[in-house]
């Protein structure tokens, strides 16, 4: 599990550690790790053209000391001094090693640009000349390494409010920062490499965590010798309509592929026909009224994909949410509860799985504002509504208003296809029915769904049914503890 922290948490840990170390030790550790990462990325250091973008803070000092180390290995290193002041000892070491001060035009000729403009405490849009230098680094042909966090990215939230450095690699010191895991900041970070400088014992409870394969495997339910279909979890699915039959098929398929012992589907004639044809394993109830009275006992419900938003759908949603088991609400179900929040007044747990547009309608906040601060708005919704929120999109985040949020790192842009969100609902619903709480079910489902998307796509277009088909392979991969490659920038999960 990768743990991530806010800027305030990191700074407090750094102060505690620095109080026990000789002056400058922490910076030397950071610079050594940064120089090693730059050398690895370059491959050949001798005669490489390296340009440092140096601000006035400690990040600028890290860059200068790392530049000195690279210069001693034969690199041609120039430094653009952007701040009104410069780390004096770092600059002296840099010049002594053969580095030189240069102008911003050198960025265009660099094999590697090192972004040391601002540190983790910076918020808001970059001032000039920092903004122009960040833009120049982003458009330059060479590789770009950011020190700790790309300049222009809020380390604690991932917000980007103006020009920001788009890094090939971010070398972050001591611990991951939340803004490196959550878009839009994550999209600017590129690959992220952690340099251990000794902060571990001084770090508090994390702000956010990113699950890895072993973490998901430890949570997934597994059948035992005495298991039967009822003990393995019975999921109810209230989804689909005469207009949107496919949503029912995909949600049921996701649930069956994710290990539900039984799926009870309840719907009208057209989706019932399709579910029977695609999934003969499902127990189907044809509804002639918006009631679940004759569906049978379930351990959890999935409510909403393709259900419609008229009076009939509202009555069915009210019946499902009046039950005493966990309910996952997605798609049209979210539109219904946005119109009538009283539907969420219940004692049993609720998991909401919106994308930014659906959360916008639910919370009365602009979609752009949500996309700019995904984690913040997921947390706000969870706290205000008393639910768990899985916010889908370029970074999928899960929040329940208590403790660290979870950020999903699997996925592929090929998941930006109709119906993939219905599959995710089925996967998460199956995990709820098997006994996981909303927070664990949501985060494990997001991980498996993203991994299934990668396996199904393999770099090519996919359909939602392909994702459902690949869920067992994703579960097998997790059982083998095989960690997938880190998602490259711009290729994160977009479930719809």
Which residues does the annotation place in the binding site for K(+)?
Answer: 59, 115, 151
Cis preceding linkage at 254, omega within 30: no
Residues contributing to the annotated binding site:
58-62, 115, 119-125, 130, 148, 151, 247, 306, 355, 392-396, 421-422
List the beta strands (DSSP E) in 272-392: 283-286, 300-303, 327-329, 350-352, 388-391
The dihedrals phi and psi of 482, each to the nearest 5 degrees, come to -90, 110
> Which residue in the block uniquely carries the two structure tokens 């949503």?
247
Alpha helices in 7-111 (DSSP H): 7-18, 25-42, 58-72, 88-96
Query: Which of these, 359, 326, 283, 335, lies nearest to 441 by C-alpha position?
Result: 326
The DSSP bridge pattern shows strands 2-5 and 208-210 to be antiparallel
Q: How far apart are CA 43 and CA 276, in angstroms?
A: 57
Residues contributing to the annotated binding site for AMP:
392-396, 421
CB 184 within 8 A of CB 158: yes
In degrees, to the nearest 5, what angle opens at C-alpha 90 toward C-alphas 84 and 95? 95
Residues contributing to the annotated binding site for (6S)-NADPHX:
58-62, 119-125, 130, 148, 247, 306, 355, 422
Q: 288, exposed or middle or buried, with CB in 10 Å at 0-12, 13-18, 19+?
A: exposed
CB 235 within 8 A of CB 262: yes
Q: How far apart are CA 82 and CA 115, in angstroms?
A: 11
Beta-carbon contacts of residue 458 (< 8 Å; ≥ 6 apart): none
């Amino acid at each position: 599990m990768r743990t991530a922290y806010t800027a305030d948490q990191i700074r407090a840990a750094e102060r505690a550690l620095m109080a026990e170390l000789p002056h400058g030790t922490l910076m030397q550790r950071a610079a050594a790790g940064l120089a090693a990462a730059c050398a690895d990325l370059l491959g050949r250091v001798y005669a490489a053209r390296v340009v440092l973008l140096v601000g006035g803070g400690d990040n600028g000092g890290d860059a200068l000391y790392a530049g000195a180390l690279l210069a001693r290995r034969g690199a041609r290193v120039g430094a653009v001094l952007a701040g009104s002041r410069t780390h004096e000892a770092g600059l002296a070491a840099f010049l002594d090693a053969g580095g030189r001060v240069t102008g911003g035009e050198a960025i265009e000729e660099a094999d590697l640009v090192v972004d040391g403009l601002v540190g983790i405490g910076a918020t808001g849009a970059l001032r000039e000349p920092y903004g122009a230098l960040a833009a120049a680094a982003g458009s330059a042909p060479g590789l770009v390494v950011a020190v700790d966090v790309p300049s222009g990215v809020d380390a604690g939230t991932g917000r980007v409010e103006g020009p920001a450095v788009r890094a090939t690699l971010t070398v972050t010191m001591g611990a991951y920062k939340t803004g490196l895991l959550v878009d839009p900041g994550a999209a600017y970070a590129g690959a992220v490499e952690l340099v251990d400088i000794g902060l571990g014992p001084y770090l508090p409870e994390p702000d956010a965590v990113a699950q890895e394969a072993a973490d998901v495997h430890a949570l997934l339910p597994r059948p035992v010798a005495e298991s039967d279909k009822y003990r393995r979890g019975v999921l109810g699915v209230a989804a689909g309509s005469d207009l949107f039959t496919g949503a029912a098929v995909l949600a049921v398929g996701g649930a069956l592929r994710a290990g539900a012992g039984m799926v009870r589907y309840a719907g009208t004639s057209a989706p019932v026909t399709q579910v029977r044809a695609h999934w003969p394993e499902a127990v189907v109830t044809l509804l002639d009224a918006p009631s679940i009275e004759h569906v049978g006992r379930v351990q959890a419900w999935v409510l909403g994909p393709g259900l419609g938003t008229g009076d009939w759908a509202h009555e069915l949603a009210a019946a499902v949410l009046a039950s005493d088991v966990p309910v996952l609400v997605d798609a049209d179900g979210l539109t219904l509860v946005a119109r009538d929040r009283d539907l969420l007044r219940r004692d049993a747990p609720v998991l909401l799985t919106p994308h930014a547009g659906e959360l916008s309608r639910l919370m009365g906040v602009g979609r752009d504002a949500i996309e700019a601060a995904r984690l913040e708005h997921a947390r706000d919704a969870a706290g205000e509504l008393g639910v768990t929120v899985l916010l889908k999109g370029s970074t999928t985040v899960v929040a329940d208003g208590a403790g660290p949020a979870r950020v999903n790192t699997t996925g592929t842009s090929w998941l930006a296809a109709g119906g993939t969100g219905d599959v995710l609902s089925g996967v998460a619903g199956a995990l709820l029915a098997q006994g996981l709480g909303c927070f664990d079910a949501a985060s494990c489902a997001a991980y498996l769904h993203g991994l299934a998307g990668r396996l199904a796509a393999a770099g090519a277009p996919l359909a939602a049914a392909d994702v459902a088909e690949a869920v067992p392979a994703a579960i097998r991969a997790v059982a083998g503890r095989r960690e997938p490659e880190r998602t490259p920038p711009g290729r994160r999960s977009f479930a719809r």
